[in-house]
Amino acid sequence: MSEVAVPSLTTIPVELVYRILDEMTPKCIMLSLGGVCQRLNDITDTYAPYQEFNHIFLKAGGMDLEGFAPLANALKFNQTVTKFEFIGDHIDRTGAEMLANALCINRTISIIHIKTNRFDPEGVRALGNSLRFNQGVTTVDLDTCTAGAEGAEEFFRALTINRTLRDLDLEVNYLCDDGTRQLAEALKVNKTLITLRICHNWIGSEGLQAIAEALKVNRTLKTLSFHNESVVKEGAIALAEALKVNDTLTSIEISWGGTDTPGIKALAEALKFNSGLKNIDLENSHMAPVGIQALAEALKINRVLTDISLGSSTICALGTKALAEALMTNQGLTTIDLENNEIDPEGAQSFAQALQINQTLKKVKLGSNKIGDEGSKALKAITRDGLELSF
């Protein structure tokens, strides 16, 4: 008696496999069939609805460690997902290691966004190590993953080897000075990173000085954010000295953490020499009049900066007058944000006069100030074309 052949997914015609796939969601296809055999991988990769499955988004409560294991394994073989977002789920070190193992093999994921997870230093270390082997990821956002200097160490070592990573965000990872020094050493060697955000990391003057030394060497980084870090004293002065020689960085954010008067004066002096920066964000810096005056003097000389944000910086009468005078001669700025300061009617009138003369500014934000009716009247009387003015 002859044996009856039992059809299976590994042998039936492709058309029948497609009909089965029609009854499955893309996520179910990946979790159920990914990695079963090469034939099924080839078939699913050519299945049109599955080719459109390029984004995995897991939110809080959406998956525990037991459910994450098959997903991480499936990512090893998947060739459609390019963006992986994992926000709010409390996956621990083991989950991070699973994801790291997948990234050592996966070549299609280019964006990773992981926020608020219990990865701990060992988990972050595993992810960092995977970047030694992965050559597809271009963007990594590890937000509130408690890396610490210990966990970030492996991450930063990978930066000296990895040749694809372009954007790195390590917001709220407790780097402190030790972790920041490790990052600075990596920046001296790395030649691919373009954007770096190291906000809310409790970085002191020693860490800032290390970053400043790296900026004297690095020639690829274009955007750097210290949002909510205190760039003061020796750290601010060191950063300013670096900006005198670095002409690659085009955007820097030092907002909400603020800087002190010596720091502002040093940064202002650097702007007289810098030939690369186009955008500087100093929002909520609470500057003294002497600091604003120094910045205004720099704006009379600088011809490269196009966008400056000085919102919530306690700019009062003396600072307002100095900035208005600078705008009469500055021919580079196209956008200036002065919202939520102490600009009075007289200051608004000074700006109105300056804006009649200045022909390069396109956007001026003066909202939430104390300009009064007289100041508002003067600003409304501006007849310049192509100016977007809000107050």
154-167 residue pLDDT tens: 889 999 999 999 99
Categorize the per-residue pLDDT at 4 as very low, low, confident or very high, splitting at 50, 70 and 90. Answer: low
| Residue from 57, 74, 194 nearest 138 by CA | 194
CA 311 – CA 313 distance, rounded (Å): 5
Average pLDDT, stretch 28-55?
88
Per-residue model confidence (pLDDT) at position 12: 86
Is 240 inside any structural domain? no
Identity of residue 116: T
Provide the pairing of β-strand 363-365 with 55-58: unpaired
Is 293 inside any structural domain? no
pLDDT tens for 236-270 read 899 999 999 999 999 999 887 668 889 899 999 99
Per-residue model confidence (pLDDT) at position 89: 66
pLDDT tens for 137-186 read 999 999 988 778 888 888 899 999 999 999 999 998 889 999 999 999 99
Across 144-194, the runs of DSSP E, i.e. the strands, are 167-169
Contact (CB, 8 A) for 282 and 259: yes
Measured in Å, how far apart are the chain's first and last C-alpha atoms? 92
Residue 349: which CATH number? Answer: 3.80.10.10
Is 239 inside any structural domain? no
Q: What global pTM score does this model have?
A: 0.91
Per-residue model confidence (pLDDT) at position 132: 93
Contact (CB, 8 A) for 201 and 176: yes
Within 8 A by CB and 6+ apart from 137, the residues are: 103, 109, 110, 111, 112, 131, 164, 165
Is 82 inside any structural domain? no
Give the position of tokens 């909510």: 228
Is 3 inside any structural domain? no
Per-residue model confidence (pLDDT) at position 2: 56
Contact (CB, 8 A) for 333 and 360: yes
Is 66 inside any structural domain? no
Is 211 inside any structural domain? no
Angle between helices 289-301 and 317-329 (to 10 degrees): 0
**Which domain range does residue 349 map to?**
314-390
Categorize the per-residue pLDDT at 121 as very low, low, confident or very high, splitting at 50, 70 and 90. Answer: confident
pLDDT tens for 103-116 read 999 999 999 999 88
Average pLDDT, stretch 306-331?
95
Is 132 inside any structural domain? no
* Total number of domains constituting the chain: 1
Per-residue model confidence (pLDDT) at position 144: 86
Q: What is the mean pLDDT of the chain?
A: 91
Categorize the per-residue pLDDT at 3 as very low, low, confident or very high, splitting at 50, 70 and 90. Answer: low
pLDDT tens for 50-86 read 999 999 998 877 677 788 899 999 999 899 999 999 8
| Residue from 197, 92, 194, 106 nearest 145 by CA | 92
